[in-house]
Amino acid sequence: MISHHPPRLATWILKRLGSTIIEEALIGDLFEAYQTRRSPFWYWRQVGVAIGVGACRDVWHHLPVALGAIVTGLFVAAVPFWWLVNTSAASLSNVPLPAWILTLAAWLVVFGSALLSGWLVSLLFRAHRAAAVLSLAAAIVVAGAIVLPNAADLGPLALGSVLLLDALAAIGGGSLTGVRERTLRG
């Protein structure tokens, strides 16, 4: 029998952001069901629900972890942002570089700090990685929606895109740490 491989990136993300309920058995079930459905969209949706359901359960059962991740992650993400807005913006305006390079550098600092905070939170709260990283991503969106309109001149579409990219950067950073060890019950 020829096996049809589901999207590998989705499985990779599921293995890294999967919570305590995500087991090899569930990944095997998705693989088996994919043989008959074979729709990448279906598979991605299943993976999204699996990460979401797992993270909600983890957050519910480990609220202190989620709060710790939010505080730690926001602090790590906010320090470069604060430096950029309060210290470097004035001095950078004197640097003889094209404006688009400075803008790009500023956004790299914003997304880089989100990626770094996701990575750090994922390391610190390894046992409940999905809950920690997804709580942080949600907190970044909320905090960004409050702070960014005052710090940068962005329209609603640009603001939404930046917040989405920032959250994805934090999730991406959280996915960079190694695959969590799993214990299969049985």
Partner 1 sequence: MKRHNGSLELMIMLAIMRLEDAAYGVPISREIEESAGREVAMATVYASLDRLEARGLVKSKLGDPTPERGGRAKRLFTITAAGIREVQEARRALTQLWNRLPQLKGQLS
In contact, 118 and 73? CB cutoff 8 Å: yes
Asked if 182 touches partner 1 (CB under 8 A), the answer is no
Could you say which residues in the range 11-40 bind partner 1, by CB under 8 A?
21-33, 35
- Mapping DSSP onto H, E and C, the string for 62-90 reads CHHHHHHHHHHHHHHHHHHHHHHHHHHHH
Asked if 181 touches partner 1 (CB under 8 A), the answer is no
Size of the chain in residues: 186
Closest approach, Cβ 38 to partner 1, in A, equals 13
Tokens standing for 64? 């202190």
In contact, 54 and 16? CB cutoff 8 Å: no
Select from 9, 49, 63, 179 the one that contacts partner 1 (CB under 8 A).
49
Closest approach, Cβ 53 to partner 1, in A, equals 4
Give the footprint of partner 1 on this chain (CB under 8 A): 1, 3, 5, 21-33, 35, 45-46, 49-50, 52-54, 57, 184-186
